[in-house]
C-alpha cells in the first residue's frame, strides 16, 4: 500500500498504571494459539488518523501527488481500563481527485501492519 510507511513509536506499557495486559492484544494471542492468525499479526481496538493536508489546497495539487498521513493504534489496559496508543505510524498516500488514497480517517478494530 505504501512504500514509505514508518513506525514512529510503540508503547509496551500503560502510561497510567504501567500494566502490560491489553484487551485487543489478548484476543489476538488467543487466535494465534488456535492457528488463526500469523505470528507477525498485531491487533488494536481502534485506529485513527488520516492525511495531513489542508482540504482547501487539494484542488491546487496534481492527481497522484504524495501527501503525508498519520495513524495511531489504540488498545485498552486490562489492569486499569485506560485507552492508550500502542503504535504511532506515518507514511505517504497518493492524491486521487480531491481526496488522498491511503488509510481512511477512521478504521474499525483490526490489524496493525507488521
Q: Which residues contact 114 (CB under 8 A, 6 or more apart)?
A: 40, 42
Does 1 fall in a domain? no
Range of the domain at 41: 6-112
Average pLDDT value over all residues in the chain: 81
pTM for this model (two decimals): 0.70
pLDDT of residue 53: 83
Does 106 fall in a domain? yes
Does 105 fall in a domain? yes
Alpha carbons 15 and 69: distance in angstroms, whole number: 25
Per the structure, the count of domains in the chain is: 1
pLDDT of residue 15: 97
**Predicted confidence (pLDDT) per residue in 38-82, tens digit:** 877 778 899 898 888 887 877 777 777 888 889 999 999 999 999
Amino acid at each position: 500500500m505504501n512504500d514509505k510507511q514508518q513506525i514512529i513509536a510503540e508503547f509496551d506499557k500503560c502510561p497510567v498504571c504501567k500494566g502490560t495486559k491489553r484487551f485487543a492484544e489478548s484476543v489476538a494471542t488467543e487466535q494465534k494459539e488456535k492457528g488463526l492468525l500469523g505470528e507477525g499479526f498485531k491487533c488494536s481496538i481502534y485506529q485513527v488518523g488520516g492525511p495531513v493536508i489542508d482540504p482547501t489546497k487539494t484542488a491546487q495539487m496534481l492527481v497522484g501527488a504524495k501527501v503525508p498521513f498519520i495513524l495511531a493504534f489504540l488498545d485498552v489496559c486490562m489492569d486499569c481500563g485506560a485507552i492508550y496508543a500502542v503504535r504511532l505510524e506515518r507514511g505517504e498516500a497518493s492524491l486521487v481527485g480531491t481526496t488522498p488514497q491511503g488509510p481512511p480517517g477512521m478504521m474499525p478494530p483490526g490489524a496493525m501492519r507488521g
